[in-house]
Structure 1
């Protein structure tokens, strides 16, 4: 089964309080620098501490370098007793960057940071539950396979592929993942996956893990989802979406609906967004689990 990491900020619900086997991805810009994993009331099953490079890209006033990022990751993860993956500071390649020279410059920055990260990681004497995660960057077969081969040589415990979140065409995303796995094999993490269909295809490819913020983004937009079959509703007529309006909750066994199914229909406060996000995450994961079972039933 593919590992599904929920992207988390320090104003989000503690998903693992509701779903104890939940995996969490924490991105540095999305938590206070004084925050630490011990503040979780329930530890996640697995944890990724991302560098937050994509957020830094859109906010150049946040000055970061590899050493500073690594020290922040250590402070935030100190005391973690669960499998914990630390990512180096990468240089994402947004869709607007198409010049090959510019793309390779960004890849060279990513590789330089990765090299520095591995020196810091190996010399830090971290507990055995800490592992390194290298982030592959590129936007074509040549650039992605070049970066993947270089990352392979550095000895990361695990590799992942970035710069997919801004892409909206599933085939482009899947092609990039295929190009990378032609070098690395399927045991990689795929960052920033929002669509269920893409997640299902990645699972069929044998990808090890993905992360997503979709459950919260849907909740913020006053929408909810249900699984088996997969359905998508708005909870307010004011939401400008061509979706059916959910006027009454559907029978549901998620932790929120077991308590009070009407909670997911409330809007206007962050706490209701949070409850709706837990509900949405429960159903996204349930749908992926069903895809996994169906695929392996058809492909024994």
Structure 2
């Protein structure tokens, strides 16, 4: 299972620190032109349509406009990067009635179909492919959505709208999607819980993305692994939901090798970026340990 770190224009340049760092970026105006900052471009990239951002706006951009931003981001990457483009979907976060949920699913499928028409008019590089977004509100609707995407020609899929669900529901919906498209063809959008990550490893999900390293850093949190744990840096004024830590523990991440005290400085933003680089290192180590544990279970 591959972990894609969610990235935006003001975040740390993760792949400059880690050569193998799959990245997800949204096709929003603030991100346009920003991949040029990377000395080492991400070797694997998912470019989504920024649906979670746009759904909060009064006016949404046209499909063509969003695709043009995606295309500009592609042009900033070498042809050695493996890139997947995601069509515009209709998130179900704020959909409570069955009719609204059904409309969101159908609207997502309509966008998926129209998106392929736009893509077909362009000559995309061979390293670029498309991903269909599965939106559903129960097992039957998840299967229906996935099967409709298959008919359109999608071969790789992402399951969306999991953020508003609890841990148990998230795992259930991931299983529904696996039943429909296979774990090897599935990406899970925006799941951050350690328990869910462990389950996805056991289910052999192809990939998932999370902004957890950056979000935790923004709230003055630092990760450590083996076992995975979270601390709030003592110098911050944040109300601790985790234990406080005043001095760095032993760590071999790029930040700690240089100067571990830097990430214990609450602000300004450059210090937050250093914390996120450190957090990424320990989250990846934790995921890798989960993989090893799963492989051992299978051997036994």
TM-score band, normalised by the shorter chain?
over 0.9
| 1:76 to partner: Cα distance | 1.9
2:67 is the counterpart of 1:70: yes
**SS, match of residue 70 in structure 2:** helix
Q: Is the CA contact (8 Å cut-off) linking 1:47 and 1:84 kept in structure 2? A: yes
**Bigger Cα displacement from structure 2, 47-56 vs 77-86:** 77-86
| 1:39 to partner: Cα distance | 3.5
2:264 is the counterpart of 1:258: no
Structure 2's unaligned 5+ residue stretches are none
- Name the counterpart of 2:99: 101
Query: 1:53-91 deviations in whole A, cap 9, x for unaligned?
Result: 011112224x21222211211112115220000000111
After superposition, the Cα gap between the structure-2 partners of 1:215 and 1:79, relative to the gap in structure 1 and judged at 3 Å, is: closer
Alignment partner of 2:169 out of 164, 169, 172: 172
- Name the counterpart of 1:84: 83
| 1:142 to partner: Cα distance | 2.0
Query: 1:5-45 deviations in whole A, cap 9, x for unaligned?
Result: 00111111110111110011011237343x15344211112
The normalised TM-score by structure 1 is 0.94
Runs of 4+ in 1 over 6 A off after TM superposition: none
Q: Structure 2: how far apart are the matches of 1:205 and 1:293?
A: 14
Q: Structure 2: how far apart are the matches of 1:298 and 1:254?
A: 29
- Name the counterpart of 1:195: 193
The normalised TM-score by structure 2 is 0.94
- Name the counterpart of 1:277: 276
- Name the counterpart of 1:3: 2
Query: 1:252-276 deviations in whole A, cap 9, x for unaligned?
Result: 0000000011111111210000000
**SS, match of residue 299 in structure 1:** helix
- Name the counterpart of 2:217: 219
Q: Structure 2: how far apart are the matches of 1:198 and 1:207?
A: 11
Coordinate RMSD, CA, aligned: 1.4
Q: Structure 2: how far apart are the matches of 1:152 and 1:88?
A: 14
Q: Structure 2: how far apart are the matches of 1:105 and 1:93?
A: 10
Q: Is the CA contact (8 Å cut-off) linking 1:37 and 1:78 kept in structure 2? A: no
**SS, match of residue 125 in structure 1:** coil
